[in-house]
Amino acid sequence: MVELFRVGALKAIALDGAIHRAALQALLERGADYARLVDGQDPGPDAARELFADGPPGHPPEAKFVIGLLDPSGALIAVLEGMRDYPDPGVWWIGLMLLDPAWRGRGLGARLYRAFEAYAGQQGATALGLGVVEANAGARRFWERVGFAAVRVTEPRRFGAREHAVIVMRRALDEQRQGGDHMEAGYTVRPARADDIAALPGIERAASQLFAAWGWDEDLLAGATPPETLRAALAAGRLWVAADADDRPVGFAVSSIVDGRAHLDEIDVHPDHGRRGLGRALVERVCAWAAAAGLPAVTLTTERDIPWNAPFYRRLGFEVLSPSAWTPGLRAIVAHETRAGLDPAGRVVMIRAV
């Protein structure tokens, strides 16, 4: 089985019609509420075979993808099916994304979609498309939350025992939130000042809203680094801001020392100033501080699958640190994050030598 990508501890693979048909049929039957809504009837006994074979007339069969998500025991808990280069070159069409009912309500749908989006982009996709039947209002809200927009509505057509108009939706993959390679002119990264502190919680909360589509709850989205922590970092020379042309903070980074190494505690850039290289510049400033202080490396904790988290840090030279190499201080940080509500299965510790 070829692993395509991961969603935390869950493995996404390309399903094989000969090997996985029975498991897919069972998943479709467990998720029969979707078929009842769209088709007005339960999945038929050949639903899995039909899903493997389904595709637009004349489109090459090798363009079809059927991706399964496996839990740690190897059980199939979700399927994401569609077609590459349809209806246009570079567009990947999502025909079905279905989760086992036992795994719903945990934010897994958003996490699966985001990991798939990153994978599709790496494979050359320039946009994603899909269709939602008008009766499926919940699905439309979900796809809108993860960045899709309606482009047209079709005439009603037959689906099994029912008839629906279809809302065609699309999302361009423009490397949004990936972070630029160079800081744009007009911005600077400098040590923070006391009069910057008041602006930083607002920047942090605005940046946190980007995680809403990944299933983070409201408590996590509303949290912010306490002002006393920021003031202590300022006094220790471990707080930096990215400032705009008017010298107003639009991003910041906080660092500490954990078990003899620098640790990047927090980095945020206001979404209005994203994709201008500010995140990279802040990380490089922290690494330069660590090197000047004689510290051997910089560590951090982050989300494994979110494109502007671990994939971003990998491009800056960070590597995942095996749990067996975690120091007591790093273990304490991960435990604190877990108590705060972060899913440890989706988190990684990373390190970069300086």
Q: Which pLDDT band, with edges at 50, 70 and 90, does 241 fall under?
A: very high
Long-range contacts of 58-64 (CB under 8 A, 24+ apart): 59/83, 59/86
Distance CA 263, CA 290 (A): 9
What region does 303 belong to: left with phi over 0, alpha with psi -120 to 50, or beta? beta
pLDDT of residue 179: 39
pLDDT of residue 6: 85
pLDDT of residue 264: 98
At residue 268, does pLDDT exceed 60? yes
Q: Tell me what percent of the residues of the chain surpass a pLDDT of 90.
A: 64
- By mean pLDDT, which of 41-45, 117-121, 285-289, 301-305 is the weakest? 117-121
List of domains in the chain: 3-172 (3.40.630.30), 188-353 (3.40.630.30)
301 or 58: which leads in pLDDT: 301
* Distance linking the first and last C-alpha atoms of the chain: 38
Residues 96-102 have a mean pLDDT of: 96
Distance CA 279, CA 173 (A): 20
CB 332 within 8 A of CB 202: no
CB 66 within 8 A of CB 15: yes
- By mean pLDDT, which of 31-45, 109-123, 155-169 is the weakest? 109-123
At residue 329, does pLDDT exceed 70? yes
Q: Tell me what percent of the residues of the chain surpass a pLDDT of 70.
A: 95
At residue 175, does pLDDT exceed 50? no
- 128 phi and psi angles, rounded to 5 deg: -120, 145
At residue 253, does pLDDT exceed 90? yes
pTM: 0.54
Q: What is the pLDDT of residues 308-325, one digit of tens each?
A: 899 999 888 899 999 999
Distance CA 8, CA 48 (A): 26
At residue 151, does pLDDT exceed 60? yes
pLDDT of residue 136: 94
